[in-house]
Amino acid sequence: MKITDMKLYHVPRRFLYLKIETDEGICGWGEPLVEGRSGTLEGAVNEWRGYFIGKNPLLIEEHWQTMYRGAFYRGGPVLMSTIAGIDQALWDIKGKYHNMPVHEMLGGPVKSRVKVYRGVRGGTTEELAKDAALAKKQGYKLIKSGSVTLYNAELGTHYVDNIGRVNMIVERLGAIRDAVGFEIDLAIDFHGEIHKPMAKVLTREIDQFKLAFIEEPVLPENNEALREVAKYTSSPIATGERMYSRWDFKKLLSDGYVDIVQPDLSHAGGISECRRIGAMAEAYDVAMAPHCPLSIIAFASCVQTDAATPNAVFQEQSIGVHDGSKENPGMAPLKDPGVFKFNDGYVELPKAPGLGIEIDEALVEEANKTPHNWKNPMLRTYDGTPIEW
């Protein structure tokens, strides 16, 4: 079997799909993406066309090592997201070739279902509490909120800020906890927007809510600050969505201040590399919970990897797949949205070969006729200083 073509599609609202075709009619799908830079990733993937056309798609590790080792300047979001999308598509092909789900080729499942969670949204305290109550009604056992800036840019946190802003975050998180009680777990995502001076204050103040985890309390380039943050919280600390290979995770794990690693299967080298990152984390007695605010291909890759990873504890998703609706943008590319069966806050393992999904290519081709140009917001705090989103 040989690769004959590599096709890329821009899909709203911010996604990039890759289809790898073969001379035996078997194709595989991947999601190579840096959010807001889909044009850059399209160019990066196409740079590999000359290498891949005519190659055997089943030699996944050979191709992974070639892409990584063949780059003198290696690592980083663009190269590793390129590798990730190609890797996903190759695993999809291999699973279809051998007529088995990817998790069977990774050694078989170690769990019968994967726990999922979703973010709660709202620009006000009342809206957040209402959405949290809805998530509970939908059956989720774990939900996650942003702090403030994620939902209201005008409330961004400065390097050092006043207690009023701290109290606002505490109030909002408290309202969510009141809305759902302690029957389901609650986490908070700081999105790297909080700097070390305030991270210490905030983690101490929100410890009262007994959180399932605190995500990205500081930016990954400031991971040394986690030793200070850890002193002020009893909650597990999670980070890793902006780390791109096992080499990026080495020091984080050896320092010992992280409890949950969150590699992104569309950014951190795909199924192959995130499987290795999970194994590294297991050796340090650390859990894994892949980052995935992306589309259905990335989510399918995550579920396949989670199934065969013993320390994978739960899975992020933001595509609303709990309702199985074709109208949902995240589900629309699927020919059969019912392939993912959700029940009681868990998703069952797909049984179909490869990633377990079938993409509606006609719909994807139509979407690609009007490519999106999604960019993440550029925010400033109250005195005009540029801040994190």
Amino acid code (one letter) for 253: L
Q: Is 267 a catalytic residue?
A: no
Q: What is the DSSP string of 37-83?
A: -HHHHHHHHHTTHHHHTTS-TT-HHHHHHHHHHT-SS--HHHHHHHH
Amino acid code (one letter) for 277: I
Out of 10, 195, 267, 291, the active site residue is: 291
Measured between alpha carbons, how far is 18 from 42 in angstroms, rounded to an integer? Answer: 9
DSSP annotation of 142 reads E
Q: Is 367 exposed, middle or buried (0-12, 13-18, 19+ CB in 10 A)?
A: buried
Using an 8 Å Cβ cutoff, are 46 and 83 in contact?
no
CA end-to-end span of the chain, whole Å?
44
Out of 98, 191, 195, 372, the active site residue is: 191
- Residue 6: its H or E element: strand 3-11
Q: Is 191 a catalytic residue?
A: yes
E strand spans, 278-334: 287-288, 315-316
Identify the sign of the CA torsion 50, 55, 59, 60.
positive
For residue 2, the SS3 value is coil
Phi and psi at residue 43, in whole multiples of 5°?
-65, -40
Measured between alpha carbons, how far is 202 from 222 in angstroms, rounded to an integer? Answer: 17
- Catalytic machinery residues: 191, 291
